[in-house]
């Protein structure tokens, strides 16, 4: 999955299959503003899991 852009923010997911965890790095105007950590099982995180995390972040921060 590539980066997600919403309301001027860019959400860049990255993950480790070996560690079974990942993070979504949040940028605004090219500057890092936050990191959302998560865990998953399987070969990669589900796209729905990442989309839900981004949606919840946007709701919490009024984006």
Per-residue pLDDT of 38-61, as tens digits, reads: 999 988 888 899 999 999 999 999
Q: Which residues lie below 8 Å from residue 41, measured CB to CB, with a gap of 6+?
A: 20
Question: Model confidence at 10, in pLDDT bands (50, 70, 90)?
Answer: very high
For residue 25, list its beta bridge partners: 12, 35
Residue 29 buriedness (CB in 10 A; 0-12 / 13-18 / 19+): exposed
Q: Which residues lie below 8 Å from residue 5, measured CB to CB, with a gap of 6+?
A: 11
Q: What is the pLDDT of residue 42?
A: 86
Report the Cα 33 to chain-centroid distance in Å: 12
- By percentage, how much of the chain surpasses pLDDT 90? 78
In the chain, where the domains are located:
4-61
Q: Is the pLDDT of residue 1 over 70?
A: no
């Amino acid at each position: 999955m590539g980066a997600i852009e919403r309301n001027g923010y860019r959400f860049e997911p990255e993950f480790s299959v070996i560690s079974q965890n990942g993070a979504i790095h949040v940028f605004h105007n090219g500057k890092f503003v936050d990191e959302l950590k998560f865990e998953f099982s399987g070969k990669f995180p589900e796209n729905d899991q990442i989309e839900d995390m981004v949606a919840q972040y946007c709701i919490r921060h009024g984006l």
